[in-house]
Structure 1
Amino acid sequence: MAQQVRGVVARAKGEPVTVETITVPDPGPGEAVVKIQACGVCHTDLHYKLGGINDEFPFLLGHEAAGVVESVGEGVTDVEPGDYVVLNWRAVCGVCRACKKGKPQYCFDTHNAAQKMTLSDGTELSPALGIGAFIEKTLVHAGQCTKVDPDADPKAAGLLGCGVMAGLGAAINTGGVGRGDSVAVIGCGGVGDAAVAGATLAGATTIIAVDTDPRKLEWARGFGATHTVNAKDTDPVEFIRSVTDGNGADVVIEAVGRPETYEQAFYARDLAGTVVLVGVPTPDLQAPAIPLIDYFGRGGALKSSWYGDCLPSRDFPMYVDLYLQGRFPLDKFVTETIGLDDIETAFEKMHAGEVLRSVVVL
């Protein structure tokens, strides 16, 4: 029987979000209903609200979430009611060309729930990243549910669902950071600090954090940065070279998504080094005008990182285990806990750079 629950909706571009009554249908084949325990407020949700993703309003916001499976539909075998899960937006299909090549982390046809959640008047909702988790209960494809150790605090574990995994994976999966490497991270919000934490976990010995906000640079030190540079005061490329024997970093992670910071990343890497773009650019931005000879002459690799190139079924349980062992500081990403009625204020704090993550607790 369909359920009526409270959830946060963006009805139109740029308008304040509202808390609405939402109808959640019973799960159909391959689907699951999950009772949400906690959900992080991610910049992607703000992009949805501002119309920066698409114009399929109204949106049901929220996607960085942990909770408990309440019910499952026909044919679901990987999860069952009572399972503690982190939600993901990469429910791999298993049959696309990426999956057939043994690279499901690049799946080109990920699954979402077939049914739609609706407003009380029957208006269909577009769930953010196919999840929609600023809600008491949500409907997702069962493949979007990744079982993890139930001892993990949902406020922390849910953050693996997007931003933390994006930064962590950009360092470890995409950038291939290893022991003894030098790493620079440009942009030290939630994703950038997760990249710093990932580089620390991977054994990098020189980790340089770049930002224009002293508060964010201090946060980065807390996640393992060995050096920090305020790009307002100092040329970050020259600084990165100065602390890497004049060479540049082995891996440079751009977590802003701007042409000017990408150009800095390009020139801040060592010869044959790697640049990873994990900051999400807006559609209007163009690549910097870097001479083609510089691409050729510097060698190495220029990569984009999609969701940290993660495979949720492999990565989420592993990083939750590391968190429970005290080896990965997920708790440090949680700046404050809030309720469903506080989302609009949380967006303002995030935009102002006052928080790493506000987390909705239900």
Structure 2
Amino acid sequence: MPTTVKGVIARAKGAPVEIVDVIVPDPGPGEAVVDVQSCGVCHTDYHYQQGGISDDFPFLLGHEAAGVVSAVGEGVTDVAVGDFVILNWRAVCGQCRACLRGKPWYCFNTHNAKQKMTLTDGTELSPALGIGAFIEKTLVAAGQCTKVDPSVRPEAAGLLGCGVMAGLGAAINTGNVGRGDSVAVIGLGGVGMAAVVGSRLAGAAKIIAVDKDPRKLELATSMGATDTIDATSADVVEAIQGLTDGHGADVVIDAVGIPATYKQAFYARDLAGTVVLVGVPTPEMTLELPLLDVFGRGGALKSSWYGDCLPSRDFPMLVDLYQQGRLDLDAFVSETIKLDQIEDAFAKMKTGDVLRSVVTL
């Protein structure tokens, strides 16, 4: 039978979020219902509320989540009732040209649950990133559930579902950071801070953290940065070059995603170095670079989609590193909150007071 639970929606552009009754249907073929235990408050949820993603209101917010599978539909074999899972927003199809070429992290046909969760009056909800996890139970495609060790702390594990994975993957998967490399990370929100941590895990010798907020620069040092640059008082390109013997960094990660920071990343890398764009631009942004500079500097200009992760491969590995004490996911959890505190969490996120507020249910 369908279940009625409490969830958080954005009903209209810019309107305050609301806690409402949501009807969650029984899972159909290939679907699963998950009892949500934790869900991080991500910038993407705020962008949904502000109409920056689409105008398909009302949105069921939340996507950076972990929980326990409580029901599965016909044909589901990869997860079972009782499994502790991290939710992901790129359930790969296994059949598209990317999957068949052995690169499923580029899957061109990722999918979500076919059924819709609704309000009690029948209004269909658009789940954020196909998940919608500011809710007691959510309906997802079974492929969006990645089983991991159930002993992991849910508040920490759920963050792998989006921001932390995006940053770690930008360094490790997309940037191919290796032992002895120099790395610069521009922008120290949750994604940028995770890129710092990922660079440290990969063995980078020099990790340069760039931001305008001294609190974030201090935190980045505690999380593995070897050097910091205050972007309010220094020329970022010159400062990065000065810290790398005048050459520039081997890999520069733009975790902001605006033309100005991308240009900084482009010119702050070494010849034949790599630029990774993981910050998400808005539709109206454009970029102009001299084509001769693009040609003459060589190297690679890459975009990182979800950290180019494969959840079934990466989530269990990262949980294992967390349990070994080699990946401090707890450091990303600034506070735990309840469903009725999400507006406050948005405010703290905008002022840089938190890396992640995490809703616990």
Determine if the TM-score, normalized by the shorter chain, exceeds 0.5.
Answer: yes
- Aligned-partner Cα distance in 2 for 1:64–1:2: 24
Residue of structure 2 equivalent to 1:276: 276
Counterpart secondary structure, 1:169: helix
Q: Tell me how far apart the structure 2 counterparts of residues 101 and 152 of structure 1 sit (CA, whole Å).
A: 33
Q: Which residue identity is paired with 1:264?
A: Q
AA aligned opposite 1:200: R
Structure 2 letter corresponding to 1:16: P
CA distances 1:174-220 after superposition (whole Å, capped 9, x unpaired)? 00000000000000010000000000000001000000110111111
Q: Deviation at 1:82?
A: 0.3
Q: Tell me the CA shift for residue 223 of structure 1.
A: 1.2
Query: Secondary structure of the residue that 2:232 maps to in structure 1?
Result: coil
> What amino acid maps onto 2:337 in structure 1?
I
| Residue of structure 2 in register with 1:260 after alignment | 260
Q: Which residue of 2 aligns with 1:33?
A: 33
Please give the per-residue CA displacement for 1:284-306, whole angstroms capped at 9, x wherever unaligned: 1111x221111111000000000
Matched, 1:196 2:208: no
The residue aligned with 1:301 is 300
Q: 2:52 aligns to what?
A: 52
Offset at residue 222 of structure 1 (A): 1.6
Per the TM alignment, residue 317 of structure 1 is displaced from its structure 2 partner at its CA by 0.3
2:316 is aligned to 317
AA partner of residue 80 (structure 1): A
Match for 1:32: what amino acid?
A: A
Counterpart residue number, 2:106? 106
Q: Which residue in the other structure is 1:348 paired with?
A: 347
Secondary structure of 1:86's aligned partner: strand
How many Å separate the matches in 2 of 1:358 and 1:302?
32
Partner of 2:124: 124
Gaps of 5+ in 1: none
Q: Report the Cα distance in structure 1 between the residues aligned to 2:222 and 2:9, rounded to whole angstroms.
A: 34
Q: Which amino acid aligns with 2:310?
A: L
Identity across matched positions, percent? 75
- Alpha-carbon separation, structure 2, partners of 1:233 and 1:211: 10
Q: Aligned partners of 1:112, 1:292: CA distance in 2, in Å?
A: 39
1:135 aligns with 2:135: yes
Task: State the distance in 1 between where 2:120 and 2:226 align.
Answer: 52
Q: Counterpart amino acid of 2:325?
A: G
1:236 deviates by: 1.1
Give the distance between the partners of 1:243 and 1:116, measured in 2 at CA.
Answer: 52
Instruction: Give, as a single letter, the amino acid of the residue that structure 2 aligns with 1:335.
Output: S
Q: Partner of 2:74 in structure 1? A: 74
Return the alpha-carbon distance in structure 1 between the equivalents of residues 349 and 126 of structure 2.
Answer: 23
In structure 2, how many angstroms separate the alpha carbons of the residues matched to 1:222 and 1:280? Answer: 26
> SS state of the match for residue 239, structure 2?
helix
Distance in structure 2 (CA, Å) of the matches to 1:217 and 1:121: 48
SS of the residue corresponding to residue 275 of structure 1 reads: strand
SS class of match (1:198) = helix
Tell me the CA shift for residue 100 of structure 1. 1.1
1:196 partner amino acid:
V
Count of residue pairs brought into register by the alignment: 361
CA distance in 1, matches of 2:268, 2:151: 41
**CA-CA distance at 1:278 after TM superposition:** 0.2
Between 1:305-314 and 1:233-242, the stretch displaced more is: 233-242
What's the counterpart of residue 334 of structure 1? 333
Kindly state the Cα deviation for residue 154 of structure 1 after the two structures are TM-superposed: 0.3
Instruction: Output one character per residue of 1:2-53: Cα deviation in whole Å (capped at 9) or x when no partner.
Output: 0010000000000000000000000000000000000000000001000000
- Normalising by structure 1, what TM-score? 0.99
Give, as a single letter, the amino acid of the residue that structure 2 aligns with 1:124: E
* SS in structure 1 at match of 2:267: helix
Q: How does 1:223-238 map to 2 (within 5 A)?
A: 223-238=223-238
* Distance in 2 between residues matched to 1:53 and 1:270, nearest whole Å: 34
Question: Which one-letter code corresponds to 2:11 in the other structure?
Answer: R
What SS does structure 1 have at the residue aligned with 2:250? Answer: strand
CA deviations on 1:311-338 (whole Å, 9 max, x unpaired) are 0000000000000000001000000000
Correspondence for 2:18: 18
| 1:23 partner SS | strand
The residue number in structure 2 matching 1:43 is 43
Equivalence for 1:95 = 95
> 2:107 and 2:215 mapped to 1: Cα distance?
37
Shift of 1:93: 0.4
Q: Secondary structure at the match of 1:132?
A: coil
Give deviations 1:142-191, integer Å, cap 9, x for gaps: 00000001111000000000000000000000000000000000000100
| Structure 2 runs not aligned, ≥5 long | none
Distance in 2 (CA, whole Å) between partners of 1:295 and 1:317 is 38
Structure 1 stretches of at least 4 aligned residues deviating more than 3 Å after TM superposition: none
CA distance in 1, matches of 2:241, 2:160: 32
Other-structure match for 2:177: 177
Partner of 1:212: 212
Q: Is 2:157 the partner of 1:157?
A: yes
